[in-house]
Structure 1
Amino acid sequence: MQVLAIYSESGGVTKTSTAVSLAVIAARNGRRVTLIDLDPRAATTKWARVAPEEDHLHVGAILAHDDCEGYAEGLGIPVPGWSENLRIIPAARNVSNREAEYSDSAEFRLKTSLVGLESDLVIIDCPNRQGGPLIKGALTAADSIVYASKLSGDGVDGVVGARQTVTQFKKNLTRIGAPDSLEEVGIIAAAIDDRAVAQPLVERVSFDDLEETGLLLTPMVPKRTIVEQVRLTGEWYGDYPSGRVVLDAYTELFKKVIR
């Protein structure tokens, strides 16, 4: 089972679009997928329009307990309109309360909850945080990581900050003699304006900055308004002809980041 974290330290840089896109594409290709919304803003949860049967049965139930083995299997909510193979573990605003949790075992709870999970792929939509308990929990649970970005100053800053956090996390593992199995798979740049006559300077500079990392994946994902529109209606953009070019790009990227 691959556990993939989607991360940036900036908001509004297509992190949720990337997490949802990879999850739905994987599910529609026959993988059993669990998509975990770890962000208190709950963007993935709102897009999928999922809600637990009881208010407390969201990802916060995992993060609040040391004895949470197997919790993920019970908290996943189906999204049949997207795929019968996909379940989402929703988030809620009060997940932010867990950021004040600094007990010794807190960072292992998410990983512990995945024991016994009947999925081929887990994707974690991370919050845009500079470290902290939620990010430590995600990095501890994950075996691979993809950075999400736009070709903008915020996009580049988010990747740079996220990579610094990951580097420090990996150094801390080395210090305590723990195995480091977290792989930086690459950077996915999305919401790219491919219809402009000339590429704006900020996009050219941002592209160069991301390419210098050696992690920038291709193709870059073009911007289409249908993606933002369906986030308001709970639909999947790939079911619309106008979303096909976005779906095609993410499908090519799926082949590069999903084992």
Structure 2
Amino acid sequence: MTRVLAVANQKGGVAKTTTVASLGAAIQQEGRRVLLVDLDPQGCLTFSLGHDPDKLPVSVHKVLLGEVEPDVALVETSEGMSLLPANIDLAGAEAMLLMRAGREYALKRALAKLADRFDVVIIDCPPSLGVLTLNGLTAADDVIVPLQCETLAHRGVGQFLRTIKDVQQITNSELKLLGALPTLYDPRTTHSRDVLLDIADRYGLAVLAPPIPRTVRFAEASASGASVLSARKNKGAEAYRELAAALLAYWEHDKPLPTYSPEL
């Protein structure tokens, strides 16, 4: 059965796109067929995986509007993943979807047509709580919330968690919140640890392990049109490989996901 994971946070700059690309590459390296979905009109995931958003013949916006079949829009990445790419046209699609009945289900309908082709689908939701994010959450089995390990990281988290509850009650009763994923983590500082403990305490939110360390390798990888796993050995890639293995064990063998402890 295809597993669909949404990576979402209404706050930008939390390594959401990096998480989608890196997790996808790590899961693909484990022998699974992976589809990544770019739902951000800025097309950051599309660009970071080596495709120019301004030169796409077809993108996900036409898929969501039902103008083309989803397989027509698929492109391949250098690391063997498939991608439903995005560009600024998606902003127009968002406005048009608002006028349609069942607008929250557009992505779910599209992914159903690809279900036999992929083992894992990972959705990069835009940094907002609009109809595109609702599409991502409605289509997903699980959701992870990347959180930057800084004082203001939890601003808006409460509102986002309320949105997830609304989706669970209205459009996707099966959606599971797996927890927060700490990103840009610096283990040398007590500040990073304090932020994570505060998030866990304030929201009762599981904090997934391992935390993703801050490293320049992520920026270098995006500039090269590939994920951080394509670079030489680095701590960021190893952390995402560990998380990918834990997710596969959870999906396939019902093993609990590891959570963060301040002793780590």
TM-score normalized by the length of structure 1: 0.86
2:22 — aligned with what?
21
Match of 1:161 among 159, 162, 183: 159
Cα distance change, pair 90–155 in 1 and its aligned pair in 2 (3 A): same
3-state DSSP class of the match of 1:114?
Answer: helix
Is the Cα contact below 8 Å between 1:8 and 1:161 reproduced in 2?
no
Give percent identity, aligned residues only. 26
1:227 maps onto 2:228 in alignment: no
2:87 — aligned with what?
92
Match for 1:113: what amino acid?
A: A
CA distance in structure 1 between the partners assigned to 2:170 and 2:206 by the alignment:
23
1:182 maps onto 2:175 in alignment: yes
CA distance in structure 1 between the partners assigned to 2:70 and 2:151 by the alignment:
36
Deviations 1:159-198 (A, max 9, x none): 333212111222334xxxxx6111111211111123x4x4
Which runs of 5 or more structure 2 residues have no equivalent in the other structure?
A: 252-264
How do 1:89-168 residues align onto structure 2 when only pairs under 5 Å count? 89-100=84-95, 101-102=97-98, 103-117=100-114, 118-130=117-129, 132-168=130-166
Aligned length, in residue pairs: 242
1:210 maps onto 2:192 in alignment: no
CA distance in structure 2 between the partners assigned to 1:128 and 1:153 by the alignment:
18
CA RMSD of aligned residues (A): 2.1
CA distance in structure 1 between the partners assigned to 2:53 and 2:236 by the alignment:
30
Deviations 1:132-165 (A, max 9, x none): 2111211111111111111124422253332121
Q: What's the offset of the Cα at 1:73?
A: 2.6
Match for 1:116: what amino acid?
A: K
Is the Cα contact below 8 Å between 1:63 and 1:109 reproduced in 2?
yes
Is the Cα contact below 8 Å between 2:22 and 2:228 reproduced in 1?
no
Deviations 1:201-239 (A, max 9, x none): xx3442122222241011101111011122112133223
1:244 maps onto 2:237 in alignment: no
Cα distance change, pair 107–255 in 1 and its aligned pair in 2 (3 A): same
Match for 2:157: what amino acid?
A: V
TM-score normalized by the length of structure 2: 0.84
